[in-house]
């Protein structure tokens, strides 16, 4: 467990450094493979004007580029806070072996980083959500899905 604590301390250090630099929120993440950090990320939402630039997503992008893969097989993710719904989805898609986190989503809510509204929205039928959501042109869009299902050149994931 000492090795895991070392990696978590690095994610925490990055989160503190990010606050001190004024570049983003108090979140840091590192990705580890074979006992070494291969990528790191900090929250860059306001710095980059990118609402998807959360620490975990930034780290996943860097790790995947370094590995030349869209999956993080054999990797572990250490994040200074329990991931938000977007980051958790990205983590599941990246398929690391393990996720470690420090602060909880309740801790984040207490400093006004509250993602509960997203979890609540996901439980609602589409028509009852706050974000107006309208389905259009499904039949036309299904062409791409049919082509994908018939393709012999696809890389499945």
* Residue 4 backbone phi and psi in degrees, to 5: -65, -40
* 63 token code pair: 């790790």
The packing angle between helices 55-67 and 2-21, to 10°, is 120
Active-site positions?
56
The answer to whether residues 105 and 54 touch, using CB atoms and an 8 Å cutoff, is: no
> CA 18: distance to chain centroid?
17
Q: How far apart are CA 32 and CA 90, in angstroms?
A: 16
Pairing of strands 75-81, 98-103: parallel
**Kindly report the CA angle at 37 between 34 and 43, in degrees rounded to 5?**
140
């Amino acid at each position: 467990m000492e090795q895991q604590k070392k990696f978590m301390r690095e994610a925490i250090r990055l989160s503190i450094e990010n606050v001190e630099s004024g570049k983003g929120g108090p979140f840091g993440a590192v990705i580890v493979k074979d006992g070494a950090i291969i990528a790191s990320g900090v929250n860059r939402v306001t710095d980059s004007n990118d609402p998807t630039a959360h620490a975990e997503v930034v780290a996943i992008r860097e790790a995947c580029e370094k590995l030349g893969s869209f999956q993080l097989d054999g990797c572990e993710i250490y994040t200074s806070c329990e991931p938000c719904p977007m980051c958790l989805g990205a983590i599941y898609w990246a398929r690391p072996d393990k996720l470690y986190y420090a602060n909880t989503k309740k801790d984040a809510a207490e400093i006004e980083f509250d993602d509960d509204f997203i979890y609540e929205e996901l439980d609602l039928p589409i028509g009852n959500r706050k974000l107006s959501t309208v389905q259009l042109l499904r039949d036309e869009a299904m062409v791409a899905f049919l082509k994908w299902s018939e393709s012999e050149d696809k890389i499945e994931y």
